[in-house]
Structure 1
Amino acid sequence: MSSENGQPDGDAEGAPPEQLALIRESVRKAGTPRAKPRTWRGAALAKELPVARVLVDKGVLHLDRYFDYAVPEELDADAQPGVRVRVRFGAGGRRVREGRREGGGLIDGFLVERRAESDYAGPLAALAQVVSPERVLDEELLGLARVVADRYAGSLADVLQLAVPPRSARAERRPSPAPQPPPPAPAPGSWERYEQGPAFLESLASGGAPRAVWNALPGPQWSEELARAVAAALASGRGALVVLPDGRAVARVDAALTGLLGEGRHAVLTADAGPEKRYAQWLAVRRGSVRAVVGTRAAMFAPVRDLGLVAVWDDGDDSHSEQHAPQPHAREVLLLRAAQDRCGFLLGGWSCTVEAAQLVDTGWARPLLAPRERVRTAAPLVRTVGDQDLARDEAARAARLPTLAWQAVREGLRHGPVLVQVPRRGYVPRMACAACRAPARCRHCAGPLEARGADDLRCGWCGREESGWHCPECGGFRLRAQVVGARRTAEELGRAFPAVPVRTSGREHVLDTVPGAPALVVSTPGAEPVAEGGYAAALLLDGWAMLGRPDLRSGEDALRRWIGAAALVRPQPAGGTVVVVAEPTLRPVQALVRWDPVGHAVRELAERAELGFPPVSRMAAVSGPGEAVSEFLRAVELPAPAEILGPVPLPVTAAGRPRRPGAPSPGEHWDRALIRVPPGHGAALAAALKTAQATRMARGGNAPVWVRIDPLDIG
């Protein structure tokens, strides 16, 4: 690394050996005064505060520090804290002293601070360019990014890449609208359905900071209720931030806010808007022109001034977890913001995660619930069909529906659309032997065989077509579906109800709404469209497929997905019926029947506390090639109560499918170890892992090792 970037701020542990040698040499020179900055080309410097402390946009842990640069006189006016700059950094592998003389490549960065002197004793390189005088990074956002980086054992530069969108010069030249005065405090509206709902709004409107976990009643009113919470925060003269799982949810809250407050009161931050429009909206928030933000997970860092409320909807959705390093979760970032800004906090959803239950259990947040009488009148009737009932049922076999489900569909179609939730997309995603139920696997790579069409059987890993398959276990030649996909289900229902239109909603084509006329709507979980007037009935098929996943969260996720679909159905007094095909005695199924997701989450939390599982404990995952993981675990200095589980082999990513961060590519063999610590040691665990990773990277470790704090799936 080139030394022209100056002396790093703070501890230099983990820096490259060449830089460490240079630093130690300068420290050994007793009595060496702090150097007055001078450039190596003799350019005139700024007369006041001639040193710029810069965070370079290089997301590697051993460079996660500030570097000092000299400020040329011609850049003095624009080189203010918070602006984007370009600096020379590194020398392409040259020795340090040569790099100082010859310079390195240009790299982007943020100017963090102007100083009178530098801690570095040698000559400083000069800022190469001020990219824009727009001050996009303030102390508040920088502090939040640092806290998030430390919590997730990541680098500050990586967090800022998530927090500050790419620049658009045209958007910067566009003036932001003038700020509007605070609106009047909203009426409670449908918040009156909840025991503490009006009091929550009153506290926000009066400048308070209430913290609540909100179990929303089924139906479409949730978006209006979120809008009223935002309006209450704005009425106090403060800002508000709402993070939602997808663009469809953002659109509903956006419409509700516009209807309640009018145009220009809030900004929408989603990737669908395009880079220029999104950056223009972000700038309006940064400049203080707009005090409310609604968006997807990237909006969790939105620089809202004087925050009065942060809110997240459906925190159990995987979309809230960022896939780029250091992979923060929107719920945790908003919890940090609520503590940092001392503002209100609202975690809402139709279901309830274990993390939400823990917030209530510890007393950090208060429950925001509706009386049981209101829950019963707002929820649909839920009926169950177990596997034994399905096996004994000979009726309606052509449509793969038990008699109870058949009757519910037929009755529902007389009054409106019927929703059918299928756990998987596609035709028949998984096949098995019809005789012995052994999974059907490819003869070339042992991957799972999938049916893409009526006569199209091919491997889900290598893509090879399969003909003449026979079972190696029993010799059978017939196949059956393990889990039937959405397209196949739509075909079967179309044959069973030939006069009824069938619509599908899934990854390739997600419907937002459907008319209130009779129709069958086949959807994968999370892609259910909203029906005008609500669905008359819903079928939740193949419940065992979601409950049978070998994951700690399988029951919680299944209940969340079922409730998400059932909440779109008309209430029981209006004839709404839900039929779930799953074993009735299982806890998530019983919670759905009683419409009691909070009780389910509380029981899950108690069990995890007894077993030492997250979120009661803190956990980290370390994955990579086996030898690299073992070497990392030997090197890391973990806190005393840490417990290492594993390493164990990781499943290989299927060919042709996206590789998730921290997962092996096809042909690679990786291991994963889990590290668990009790409550109160999470920060020490993150710091130890970050230090070990930084040291490893500084020494030039070639094999990849991924570190993730609070992994979503721990198997």
Structure 2
Amino acid sequence: MSSENGQGGGGGEEAPPEQLALIREAVRKAKVPKAKPRTWRGAALAKELPVARVLVDKGVLHLDRYFDYAVPEELAAVAQPGVRVRVRFGAGGRTVRDGRREGGSLIDGFLVERVAESDYGGPLAALAQVVSPEPVLGPELLGLARAVADRYAGSLADVLQLAVPPRHGRAEAGKTAEPLPAPPAPEPGSWRRYARGAEFVKSLAAGGSPRAVWTALPGPDWAEEIARAVQATLASGRGALVVVPAGRPAARVDAALRALMGEGRHALLTADAGQERRYREWLAVRRGAVQAVVGTRAAMFAPVRNLGLVVVWDDGDASHSDDNAPFPHVREVLELRATRDKCGFLLGSWSCTVEAAQLVESGWAAPLVAEREQVRAAAPLVRTVGDGDLARDEAARAARLPTLAWQAVREGLRHGPVLVQVPRRGYVPRMACAQCRAPARCRHCAGPLEAHDAGALRCGWCGREDAAWHCPECGGFRLRAQVVGARRTAEELGRAFPAVPVRTSGREQVLDTVSGAPALVVSTPGAEPVAEGGYAAALLLDGWAMLGRPDLRAGEEALRRWIGAAALVRGQAAGGTVVVVAEPTLRPVQALVRWDPVGHAVRELAERAELGFPPVSRMAAVSGTAEAVAGFLSGVELPSDAEVLGPVPLPVTEAGRPRRVGGPPPGERWERALVRVPPGSGAALAGALKTAQAARMARGGGGNGSEAPVRIRIDPPDIG
């Protein structure tokens, strides 16, 4: 780092690489003796390895490298690789004795390694402080974080912010229990329901590293099956890591592990635990006191020793994609870990994503599925109600629920609770034409019209009212609720079944479980509670609303949501019934009826291969103002096989509404371009984008300088 700003070595004006190489070779041949360590403010520097290479906590790409600092002798014993340190970084320094400079602000960092000499020829600033002697950044975690940063065109510092939890002094000072001996290998148990399930568990127990995509049978046994795979791995003397999308499934796997292996063998890493407890559990993993981890998204980086198995449950859940730069996805990170550590890999879900199907098709992982007889026995009976049925149904025209749905509810309530899935939260419905069902949009900004008090129509984007709306598609003047919220549905069902309790589960309150007594449970997708003994029936309302989203993954996501709810219903042999209100000829609906998520994913993958869509291709989203996106794309050296799609305008975020991940600030008009490359060029694309973004930030781009910011996201989950 340049001595002009008091930072570590590596910056400033440098000679061309060829000239630097000649200089270093000449010095080596001249056998110039090493200079004796200077003093720092009269105090000697470390006698051995007096130079520390530090990764500063500045998540900007043009500073994504190590900086050299001198190690004072009083810090030599604790300044070890992996510890947290504080260093002076930035401009504003002043000259002190022996020609050195100190200055800049104190910032956090990680000491990566100690070396005898620095490649930087100028004077070095000294480490200001060792925050803690705890080595939290080991070489395995550092290597993984660097691989993730490169894959997602991000900075190493940003990845480490996700990977290493904040320090908590009291948790760090506590003692860690001694590790328990390896447990015995478990019996396969319910894994025998799958064609190669028992073989998978036995392979883990024998020290093998099988890789599988597991399509789980409906019902509650998935958590116990994951626990048995973890115990089998621990029995071989290796560690295991399980990542689930939210706290509720994490609690189920946690309970299954405790029931199977007892206390003290695994750590639970979730945000709900609080900073102190989470850091204490994380330290127990790093110190080797426990060898198994179950947790949510950030746990994908957990420093499990001698890793033998990584597990991701429900990889299609949006919670597995981090909302912070560089936006890594759990599935991709665990694939990296399985490859780097040569360990087992298990991707499990009731449904099947296109990415999971690609892992099987490529031969990287093997399918782990049940025979069709097992599927039919475990899955509920699925019935459909399409547009033609609704048009002929007087009850459906008068209310929202067709006759078949009322009958399923009435029959189900005789035997237990009934689940009702509503695809949107809240009370205010958005509107559509009652005749052709085209969405009702604002004539000023094309935003969605919503119904408010006294029947007034108001735009959800610009707030303008529209008292004289008519459908531009068919000329109709009648409107219908496009989607009615969970609370409104609960009110309607409560009036229809006055003697039955109605419970809701959604944003305001998410229920974990409900009893097996008759009740109506109205839930939004993903918030469905588990019923004791399973639900007797389920209604999946307004299916066309999920299928009609302008998103490449609309069909896949709708099927995943439906199967997630239907998997909580009793099997067909026990009378379980599911009614889905959606057009029965559509592919996702047929896949639900046949309970064939794998077949749906395989067909989706084939279509995307023909069209060149992810995951067959690699794609990056570049977003910002029109001028910023155009300037960035004109300066980046893309791979020769790259194709730029767009740019196109992004929806404007209304003031006061939450900003979409990677989207524009409220009120700003942004555009987005998609850059697509074929298989094999993903690393080149990420490298080119990262290089261009680093150069741009060095010139002042990124929101704090003269250039408008540009946001880059590799493999965006929503390409609309």
Q: TM-score range by the shorter chain?
A: over 0.9
Q: Which moved more, 1:510-519 or 1:313-322?
A: 510-519
Task: Indicate the percent of aligned positions where both proteins have the same amino acid.
Answer: 81
Matches within 5 A, 1:53-64: 53-64=53-64
- The answer for the alignment partner of 1:7 in structure 2 is 9
Offset from partner CA, 1:238-296 (integer Å, 9 cap, x none): 00000000000000000000000001110000001011110000000000001000000
Q: Distance in 2 between matches of 1:636 and 1:59?
A: 21
- The answer for the alignment partner of 2:467 in structure 1 is 469
SS at match of 2:508: coil
Contact kept, 8 Å, 2:83 with 2:136, in 1: the verdict is yes
Change (3 A) 1:316 1:395: same
AA at the equivalent of 1:138? G
How far 1:496 sits from its partner (Å)?
Answer: 1.5
SS at match of 2:101: helix
Q: Which moved more, 1:477-486 or 1:657-666?
A: 477-486
How far 1:477 sits from its partner (Å)?
Answer: 7.3
Q: Distance in 2 between matches of 1:416 and 1:481?
A: 30
- The answer for the alignment partner of 2:713 in structure 1 is 708
Say yes or no: does 1:333 pair with 2:336: no
Q: Distance in 2 between matches of 1:227 and 1:515?
A: 25
Contact kept, 8 Å, 1:38 with 1:124, in 2: the verdict is no
- The answer for the alignment partner of 2:319 in structure 1 is 319
Contact kept, 8 Å, 1:35 with 1:121, in 2: the verdict is no
Q: Distance in 2 between matches of 1:453 and 1:214?
A: 48
Contact kept, 8 Å, 2:5 with 2:104, in 1: the verdict is no
Which sections of structure 2, spanning at least 5 residues, go unmatched? 702-706
- The answer for the alignment partner of 1:650 in structure 2 is 650
Q: Which moved more, 1:248-257 or 1:479-488?
A: 479-488
SS at match of 2:416: coil
Change (3 A) 1:569 1:46: same
How far 1:507 sits from its partner (Å)?
Answer: 1.3
Matches within 5 A, 1:100-139: 101-139=101-139
Q: Distance in 1 between matches of 2:441 and 2:590?
A: 35
Q: Distance in 1 between matches of 2:14 and 2:493?
A: 69
Change (3 A) 1:581 1:637: same
Q: Distance in 1 between matches of 2:421 and 2:137?
A: 44
Q: Which moved more, 1:323-332 or 1:384-393?
A: 384-393
Contact kept, 8 Å, 1:35 with 1:118, in 2: the verdict is no
Q: Distance in 2 between matches of 1:610 and 1:446?
A: 32
- The answer for the alignment partner of 2:623 in structure 1 is 623
Matches within 5 A, 1:275-674: 275-395=275-395, 397-432=397-432, 434=434, 439-440=439-440, 447-451=447-451, 459-461=459-461, 466=465, 469-471=467-469, 479-674=479-674
Q: For this pair of structures, how many residues does the alignment match?
A: 703
How far 1:405 sits from its partner (Å)?
Answer: 1.0
Q: Distance in 2 between matches of 1:664 and 1:93?
A: 37
Contact kept, 8 Å, 1:398 with 1:492, in 2: the verdict is no
How far 1:469 sits from its partner (Å)?
Answer: 2.4
SS at match of 2:373: helix
- The answer for the alignment partner of 1:11 in structure 2 is none
SS at match of 2:312: strand
Change (3 A) 1:183 1:463: farther
SS at match of 2:288: coil
Q: Distance in 2 between matches of 1:568 and 1:152?
A: 36
Contact kept, 8 Å, 1:36 with 1:118, in 2: the verdict is no
Q: Which moved more, 1:99-108 or 1:140-149?
A: 99-108
AA at the equivalent of 1:677? V
How far 1:90 sits from its partner (Å)?
Answer: 0.4
Q: Distance in 2 between matches of 1:211 and 1:47?
A: 49
Change (3 A) 1:415 1:644: same
Contact kept, 8 Å, 1:469 with 1:477, in 2: the verdict is no
SS at match of 1:252: helix
- The answer for the alignment partner of 2:678 in structure 1 is 678
Cα-Cα RMSD: 2.4
How far 1:42 sits from its partner (Å)?
Answer: 3.9
Q: Distance in 2 between matches of 1:72 and 1:22?
A: 32
Offset from partner CA, 1:174-193 (integer Å, 9 cap, x none): 11111000000011110010
How far 1:4 sits from its partner (Å)?
Answer: 2.9
Change (3 A) 1:23 1:463: farther
Which sections of structure 1, spanning at least 5 residues, go unmatched? 9-14
AA at the equivalent of 1:5? Q
Q: Distance in 1 between matches of 2:83 and 2:362?
A: 41
Q: Distance in 2 between matches of 1:632 and 1:528?
A: 44
AA at the equivalent of 2:83? V
Contact kept, 8 Å, 1:461 with 1:655, in 2: the verdict is no
- Normalising by structure 1, we get a TM-score of 0.94
Contact kept, 8 Å, 1:239 with 1:308, in 2: the verdict is yes
- The answer for the alignment partner of 2:704 in structure 1 is none
How far 1:473 sits from its partner (Å)?
Answer: 5.3
Q: Which moved more, 1:302-311 or 1:656-665?
A: 656-665
Contact kept, 8 Å, 1:37 with 1:70, in 2: the verdict is no
Q: Distance in 2 between matches of 1:51 and 1:116?
A: 6
